[in-house]
């Protein structure tokens, strides 16, 4: 199984800050990586697919990069509505696996 390791597990940031979350796969997954945002009591929301493609309707301050084993999600200027937990997920092979999540909190 492919293990997905996210870091940090939590980050405190202020409005306007640039936030970067990393995700590492235990083996190469090409660009088959998705990022999700989840707010408390809500279903996950797809932000990025294929490592760097912005899902329709997602603000451009979100961006993804990477391929192979190392990936990043960047929020260029943190907004109040971005405080949430973020998950990466490899879509390269079954079993599908998620990272442990990164909680973005208000500083």
Partner 1 sequence: EVQVLESGGGLVQPGGSLRLSCAASGFTFSSYAMRWVRQPPGKGLEWVSAISAGGGTTYYADSVKGRFTISRDNSKNTVYLEMNNLRAEDTAFYYCAKIAVAGSSGYGMDVWGQGTTVTVSS
Kindly report each contact of residues 95-101 with a partner whose C-beta sits within 8 Å and lies 24 or more positions away, as own/partner: 95/1, 97/1, 97/2, 97/3, 97/4, 98/4, 99/4, 99/5, 99/6, 99/23, 100/4, 100/5, 100/6, 100/9, 101/6, 101/9, 101/38
Cis bond upstream, residue 94 (ω within 30): no
- Provide the minimum distance between the beta carbon of 32 and partner 1 in the complex, in angstroms, as a whole number: 4
> Which 68-87 residues touch partner 1, going by CB under 8 A?
87
Supply the minimum distance, in Å, between the C-beta of residue 17 and partner 1: 24
Over the window 27 to 66, marking each residue x when it contacts partner 1 by CB under 8 A and - when it does not, the resulting string is -----x-x-x-x----xxxx-xxx--x-x-----------
Closest CB to partner 1 among residues 13, 96: 96
Enumerate binding residues for partner 1 (CB under 8 A): 1, 32, 34, 36, 38, 43-46, 48-50, 53, 55, 87, 89, 91-92, 94-101
């Amino acid at each position: 199984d492919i293990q997905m390791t996210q870091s940090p597990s939590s980050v405190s940031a202020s409005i306007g800050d640039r936030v970067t979350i990393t995700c590492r796969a235990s083996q190469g997954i090409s660009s088959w990586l998705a990022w999700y945002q989840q707010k408390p009591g809500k279903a996950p929301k797809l932000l990025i697919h294929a490592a760097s493609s912005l899902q329709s309707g997602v603000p451009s301050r979100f961006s993804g990069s990477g391929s192979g084993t190392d990936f990043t999600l960047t929020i260029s200027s943190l907004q109040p509505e971005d405080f949430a937990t973020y998950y990466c997920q490899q879509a390269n092979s079954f079993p599908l696996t998620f990272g442990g999540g990164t909680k973005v909190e208000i500083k």
